Amino acid sequence: MKGRFRKFLSYYKPYKRLFLTDMFCAMVAAGITLAFPMITRYITGVILLETPIQLNRIYQLGIFMVILVIVEFFCNFYVAYQGHVMGTYMERDIRNELFEHYQKLSFSFYDEQKTGQLMSRITNDIFSLTELYHHGPEDIVISLIKFVGAFIILSTINLNLTLIVFAFIPIMGGFALYYNKKMKKAFKRNKQRIGDINARIEDNLSGIRVVKSFANEDKEMDKFKVENMNFVNSKRNSYLYMAKYHSGLGVFTSMITVAVIFFGAIFISHDSITTPDLIAFVLYITNLIEPVKKLINFTEQFQEGATGFERFMEILEVQPDIKDTKDAIELKNVEGHICFQNVGFRYNDKTDYVLKNIDLEVQPGDYVALVGSSGVGKTTICSLLPRFYEVTEGSITIDGQDIRNVKLASLRQNIGIVQQDVYLFAGTIMDNIRYGKFGATDEEVIEAAKKANAHDFIMELPDGYNTDCGQRGVKLSGGQKQRLSIARVFLKNPPILIFDEATSALDNESEHIVQESLESLAMNRTTFVIAHRLSTIKNAKRICVLTAEGISEEGTHEDLLAQQGQYAYLYNMQFKSE
């Protein structure tokens, strides 16, 4: 808890000067509000009782109060403007930190998370922190100054009446504390519900073509209505506590005013207090109630902000299970000699092994195809090489260097991946190819596209390389998107390649073009190919057949067919189906 509190305060550090100026202005403004009732008491209790009345003193005090009002205006303006700006800066810093942390987390984390919930944590949750960071300290300082100041001043006027008024405060505090706990739980539930709504929206919009193809719009609407109604119920519950909270505190503040008027009248009748003193008392009650209202606002902001910060810290405290060791080295001058030594893998302690007893040595420049039935771990092997997941047993080395002792960035920079499901970012074709090497010139991008057999179709598009791809490349065909992903890897120019069923979703014509691009890309590089269509790997010098027990067969296409083993069975099954 202490660690989280220190973490919370650490975001003030870069804006210490701005924060201190903001607090100073808040204190000056609070002090000025305390001065007005005393001036009113002095005028009504002293000046107006003199004979004759000294008008020049009234004029002087009037000018003095106008000056105080002007000072108060500038102080409040600074607090309202610069204070909010400070809060926004801090919100930006927190959001940057969380997004950066998202980039560090491994695939195993995202396997268990909903995108909508992660989006909610970085948007809605953090937004609530802005008000807390700005108004939190300011409200506390102003409330304390007004509260303590009012108590001291009122005590000098009439101690007994002051004690009667302040007798209500402990009861109000207990009432507020009880409902604060209730509201905190309710606000946290609200954030979870809005995260569920985001997750539902993200899931629907990502799969909108599937939804429409099955004409399931009504079913999706029903699902959304359920999540939306859950949010309404959660909000209604939190509003119930808020209503009780506000109504109860409203009763307390009204009772304080009633007590002042009632007991003040009694004290006047006993000559224990004068009318000017009672007027001052009533005016100070406003100064007393205002801090209470600020504390009400603060408690709401605190519950919202604390809940957001708690959810922020929940993610920030998730340590990446794959990260650089302290003495990790750069992977340089890679030749591409790769060894899998007794590699085993499972996702966690509760699941079975996906891979077991994998021993595989690949020489620099080799073209290795991995085949096998679904679920035997072909893609998993290729996910272990760039350390998207960490091996559970054994080790993987590149040029004799254990990949766990290599810096992640340099490891992945030396590996190019072409996947079946191509992801194109929103933007132009030029931007998407350049993703392989951000500093590349336009000429280098075009050259990479030519090598990937993509240049011709790009030039036929309305704006050429400046054509917008649409969300996830929706404006392009599967073969076109695949060639752009290959161009991206050409531009990256890594010594190690992974083709993860890169042509399995394409038609025969597109497959032929993409296959040519892949073979061109694979020249003189160590290449792993996960093949669904066995016809695409007939020319591979080495084919490895994976089973649940490991690598059961190795050899060329002809050798493996002659063995009449698992490969021959898979090939004949596929040949018959075709």
Q: What pLDDT does residue 439 have?
A: 84
- For 480-520, the pLDDT digits (tens) are 888 888 888 888 888 998 888 766 656 666 667 777 777 77
Q: Residue 20: pLDDT band by 50, 70, 90 thresholds? A: very high
The mean pLDDT of 162-185, rounded to a whole number, is: 81
Taking residues 17-29, report their average pLDDT. 91
CA dist 486 → 387, 418, 460, 526 (Å): 21, 6, 19, 16
**Least trusted range by pLDDT, from 17-31, 39-53, 78-92, 304-318:** 39-53
Instruction: Tell me the per-residue pLDDT of 205-254, one tens digit each, with 9 for 90 and over.
Output: 777 767 776 677 888 888 888 888 888 888 888 888 888 887 887 788 78
529 pLDDT more than 90: no
**Mean pLDDT within 145-169:** 84
Integer Cα distance of 314 and 186 in angstroms = 18
What is the per-residue pLDDT across 33-47, written as a single tens digit (0 to 9) for each?
888 888 877 787 778
The residues near 449 (Cβ < 8 Å, ≥ 6 apart) are: 433, 455, 458, 465, 483, 484, 487
Tell me, what amino acid is at 515? Q
Q: Tokens 């791809």 label which residue?
A: 469
Nearest CA-CA partner of 240 in 190, 292, 305: 190
> Once rounded to an integer, what is the mean pLDDT over residues 79-86?
87
Residues 6+ apart with CB under 8 A from 267: 158, 160, 161, 273, 278
pLDDT of residue 213: 65
Interval 346-396: pLDDT, tens: 887 788 888 888 888 989 988 888 888 877 788 888 889 989 888 999 999
pLDDT at 396: 93
To the nearest whole percent, how much of the chain has pLDDT over 70?
95
* Residue 514 neighbours by CB distance under 10 Å: 26
**Which pLDDT does position 67 carry in this prediction?**
94
Task: Check: pTM over 0.85? Answer yes or no.
Answer: no
How high is the pLDDT of residue 502? 66
Query: Does the structure show a pLDDT above 60 at 577?
Result: no
Note the pLDDT of residue 395: 92
Nearest-angstrom CA–CA distance, 72 and 286: 17
In this prediction, residue 561 carries a pLDDT of 86
Please compute, for residue 50, the number of CA atoms within 13 A of its CA located in the half-sphere on the CB side. 11
The tokens describing 27, both together, are 């204190």
- pLDDT tens sequence across 392-420: 999 999 998 999 999 988 898 898 888 87
Compute the distance between CA of residue 51 and CA of residue 54 in angstroms, rounded to an integer: 8
Domains of the chain and CATH, by start: 2-316 (1.20.1560.10), 338-577 (3.40.50.300)
Nearest to 575 by CA among 561, 563, 562, 559: 561
pLDDT, tens only, 426-484: 788 898 889 888 888 999 999 888 888 888 888 988 888 898 887 667 778 878 888 88
Rounded CA gap, 549 and 17, in Å? 64
Nearest partner of 487 among 456, 530, 527, 524, judged by Cα: 456
The tokens describing 355, both together, are 């891979």
Choice between 61 and 172, residue whose per-residue pLDDT is larger: 61
Question: Residue 458 and residue 450: Cα distance in Å, rounded?
Answer: 10
Q: For 390, which DSSP code?
A: -
DSSP 529: E
